[in-house]
Chain A
């Protein structure tokens, strides 16, 4: 026999070769001849049972919130817009960081948090068992296929009918350069079809704190502001393109409000002059350069540096 390996070495070899815990990879020369893995719907309903919800609250408030609040300096505004609102609603936000869903879920009042689920991309969050389990448990996540179509929203509709509010990132994925990408129309379509209010949320500073590619926030407790806006109601006969546009404008107005003041932002919005969030035209480096400018801290400067 060749040199013998211990069983532990053998397990390590298999674990390394097959990327246990990470996405399976296919050798480059075999990509064209390897069929996609069989469809597997990771079960998530268990995470929305009373026990699952209690565990979620405990993890979010007992682990995730202290970590995020320790590593960054979040501030929350506009939660009063949720008062008197009846669920289910759709929370939509710009999406630049893995912090986004945590920030929303840890800042939502308990009554909302307890009945809110997060739409998570199936190909990313539900590809390996541990990530699927984590997403389902901590975020009440359920898989949604990026391709759209009836199958993609079937689960979302079922949850809405059962009274669950949803967190949806209409851009479909995290922004590569910090600027807001085009909204996919599936979100607006779903809101119109299910006749549900849409609550816009602007998350400012998450990109600067933990952009794509970083597994942990930057040091120095970077400031983050989470601004909830007024709910938008799909109007009678409104098309999904129109609602989608209103959603983008609402988030842009919240950014504007953060940058200046509520009053100035309202006036600019009335004039149709709210700055767009699509960022400056130009090369990628320039867009990233602009979007990664540090967010100004509010309040008094720290006593010690």
Chain B
């Protein structure tokens, strides 16, 4: 059994703690009494992954074995999680490759000929050939790309089908080829509790028309948190569930394959980042010093390349297949085993170190809006029951927040930052005044479809992602943040952590309780 996560209380024996700050990291001393939430140790990895996949396909939950579902002459569509998972990208072979090879092997054996594969990228950018090859493996890539293995196109009117409408009036429009197949097999990587379940097909293969019903300010404000997909807790998941029901009622058959990974996030020589600081060996301390110095000295372009080439040595901890709900239930249980840490009570201040990569800047640049999404969206929401910080509390984040954008991947982000945020940071105003125009802008749609750009509406979603935190927090301070970028987003920039605490005292007083959310690796706080 892996060692469970725990909450450290900083005392005079506590060494300085590792804090991520974009493409950099530092050791920071925290005030005595600070609580630090540490994730559990990595769960043991499955040694025979292929054997486990075969077992899962042959013994599914709530479904016949996959082999029995495959028939000659059928239309089979396989959808695959896209570039946003896992984080960082995993070392080859990617688990998607292993699952796909087993599924396609079965299909070939059963005489299936009409087989198409889609990267379920929804409104995310298209994946490049190299990225797809890394995810699906050379064999699948060579056999299917580019004609039968494609990126899903959420703006291809010819290949979208309005399947129906939920009882709340939400339109369910997904990839036509998938919707008209005899069977959809969805290959998922469930990195955090938000992923998977009915968020796979109804979102991954959907169009803007469909996604807008749950990616909006209202659902975000009513998803507390969206890392807690239990019914009634997360409006976005409730919406996805309703959409899943529409698909099911329309007779669309989905065979879900969900996988979970352990949290062995960083490869050597960065293995010290996976460990609790007081357990660092002398060699790891030396590695830290060397890595820190080299990282600080490197030209930004080199540093960026080093980080982006990092491949995670994660191990597979679970593979479940079958009907979506029973599979996802098991997936979440395994995920909680790896990530859940009980925490008692909230604090006045929560501290996040923002790492170099989030779901939307793989092989790209983490622009200020993505910092917002990762910090106030993902990290803030990594809780169950209630946030780590009290209402009106302060979030302190570490990140340089450079005023920098990837011109190919994030063109609409540039305009969002320059035009929209310059006018207002209020998510509701932004939604009502600007969203439609960006979402339907022909140039953004063209770039999304033909280049490698995120959809025009995507930066809005990133901003909504942090809507609950913006509504909830009293102040957001970024240590080391670019002052102009921070000001544009309504944050405040501090030079040092001590300055940040000084600034936070205006909101929470001079003796605040502090919680440092020590992540990555992923951790989910169960706050009681």
Residues of chain A having any CB pair with chain B under 8 Å: 1-5, 7, 10-11, 13-14, 17-18, 24-30, 33-35
Across chains A and B, the number of contacting residue pairs, with CB separation under 8 Å, is 73
A-B contact pairs, 13 of them (CB 8 A): A3-B495, A7-B289, A14-B285, A17-B29, A18-B278, A24-B278, A26-B278, A27-B9, A27-B13, A29-B7, A29-B8, A29-B11, A35-B3
CA of A4 to CA of B296, assembled, Å: 9
Give the top 10 A-B pairs by smallest Cβ distance, nearest first: A17-B15, A2-B480, A29-B9, A27-B14, A1-B480, A25-B13, A3-B496, A17-B16, A27-B13, A2-B479
CA of A29 to CA of B14, assembled, Å: 10
Q: Quick one: given A1-B480, A7-B293, are A34 and B495 in contact (CB under 8 Å)?
A: no
Is there a chain A Cβ closer than 8 Å to B288's Cβ?
A: yes
Q: How far is the CB of A10 from chain B (nearest CB, A)?
A: 6
Q: Quick one: given A2-B497, A27-B9, A29-B11, are A13 and B16 in contact (CB under 8 Å)?
A: yes
* A interface: dominant SS: loop
Pick from B4, B27, B398, B400: contact of A14, CB below 8 A: B27
Is there a chain A Cβ closer than 8 Å to B276's Cβ?
A: yes
Is there a chain A Cβ closer than 8 Å to B24's Cβ?
A: yes
Is there a chain A Cβ closer than 8 Å to B161's Cβ?
A: no
CA of A206 to CA of B6, assembled, Å: 46
Q: How far is the CB of A35 from chain B (nearest CB, A)?
A: 8
CA of A14 to CA of B9, assembled, Å: 19
* B interface: dominant SS: mixed
**Is there contact, CB below 8 Å, between B293 and A10?**
yes
Closest to A3 in B: B496
Closest to B479 in A: A2
CA of A201 to CA of B144, assembled, Å: 86
- CB-CB under 8 A from B16, the residues of chain A are 13-14, 17
**Is there contact, CB below 8 Å, between B3 and A1?**
no
**Is there contact, CB below 8 Å, between A30 and B8?**
yes
CA of A24 to CA of B3, assembled, Å: 21
Name 19 extra pairs, CB < 8 A, besides A3-B495, A14-B27, A28-B9: A1-B400, A2-B398, A2-B497, A5-B26, A7-B289, A10-B289, A13-B16, A14-B285, A17-B27, A17-B277, A25-B13, A25-B278, A26-B278, A27-B278, A29-B7, A33-B3, A33-B6, A34-B278, A34-B279
Residues of chain B having any CB pair with chain A under 8 Å: 3-4, 6-11, 13-16, 21, 24, 26-29, 276-280, 282, 285, 288-289, 292-293, 296, 398, 400, 479-480, 494-497
- CB-CB under 8 A from B15, the residues of chain A are 17-18
- CB-CB under 8 A from A25, the residues of chain B are 13, 278
Pick from B14, B280, B289: contact of A11, CB below 8 A: B289
Q: How far is the CB of B484 from chain A (nearest CB, A)?
A: 15
- CB-CB under 8 A from B8, the residues of chain A are 27, 29-30
- CB-CB under 8 A from A3, the residues of chain B are 495-496
Closest to A30 in B: B8
- CB-CB under 8 A from A7, the residues of chain B are 289, 293
Q: Quick one: given A17-B15, A27-B14, are A1 and B21 in contact (CB under 8 Å)?
A: yes
CA of A27 to CA of B288, assembled, Å: 20
**Is there contact, CB below 8 Å, between A2 and B26?**
yes
CA of A3 to CA of B14, assembled, Å: 21
CA of A3 to CA of B28, assembled, Å: 11
Q: Quick one: given A28-B13, A29-B8, A30-B276, are A14 and B21 in contact (CB under 8 Å)?
A: no
CA of A1 to CA of B24, assembled, Å: 9
**Is there contact, CB below 8 Å, between B497 and A28?**
no
Q: How far is the CB of A15 from chain B (nearest CB, A)?
A: 9
CA of A3 to CA of B494, assembled, Å: 9
- CB-CB under 8 A from A27, the residues of chain B are 8-11, 13-14, 278
Q: How far is the CB of A201 from chain B (nearest CB, A)?
A: 38
- CB-CB under 8 A from B289, the residues of chain A are 7, 10-11, 14
- CB-CB under 8 A from B479, the residues of chain A are 2
CA of A3 to CA of B498, assembled, Å: 10
Q: How far is the CB of A32 from chain B (nearest CB, A)?
A: 9
**Is there contact, CB below 8 Å, between A18 and B280?**
yes
- CB-CB under 8 A from A24, the residues of chain B are 278
- CB-CB under 8 A from A34, the residues of chain B are 276, 278-279
- CB-CB under 8 A from A17, the residues of chain B are 15-16, 27, 29, 277
Q: How far is the CB of A183 from chain B (nearest CB, A)?
A: 35
Q: How far is the CB of B282 from chain A (nearest CB, A)?
A: 8
CA of A226 to CA of B382, assembled, Å: 67
Q: Which of B3, B28, B29, B285 has the most CB of A within 10 A?
A: B285
**Is there contact, CB below 8 Å, between B9 and A2?**
no
- CB-CB under 8 A from B296, the residues of chain A are 4
Closest to B14 in A: A27
CA of A199 to CA of B400, assembled, Å: 69
CA of A5 to CA of B278, assembled, Å: 21
Pick from B10, B14, B282, B496: contact of A2, CB below 8 A: B496
Q: Quick one: given A11-B289, A26-B278, are A2 and B11 in contact (CB under 8 Å)?
A: no
CA of A14 to CA of B479, assembled, Å: 21
CA of A18 to CA of B280, assembled, Å: 9
**Is there contact, CB below 8 Å, between B400 and A13?**
no
Closest to B400 in A: A1
CA of A25 to CA of B285, assembled, Å: 15
Q: How far is the CB of B381 from chain A (nearest CB, A)?
A: 25
Q: How far is the CB of A18 from chain B (nearest CB, A)?
A: 5
Closest to A28 in B: B11
Q: How far is the CB of B494 from chain A (nearest CB, A)?
A: 8
Q: How far is the CB of A39 from chain B (nearest CB, A)?
A: 14
- CB-CB under 8 A from A18, the residues of chain B are 15, 278, 280, 282, 285
- CB-CB under 8 A from B400, the residues of chain A are 1
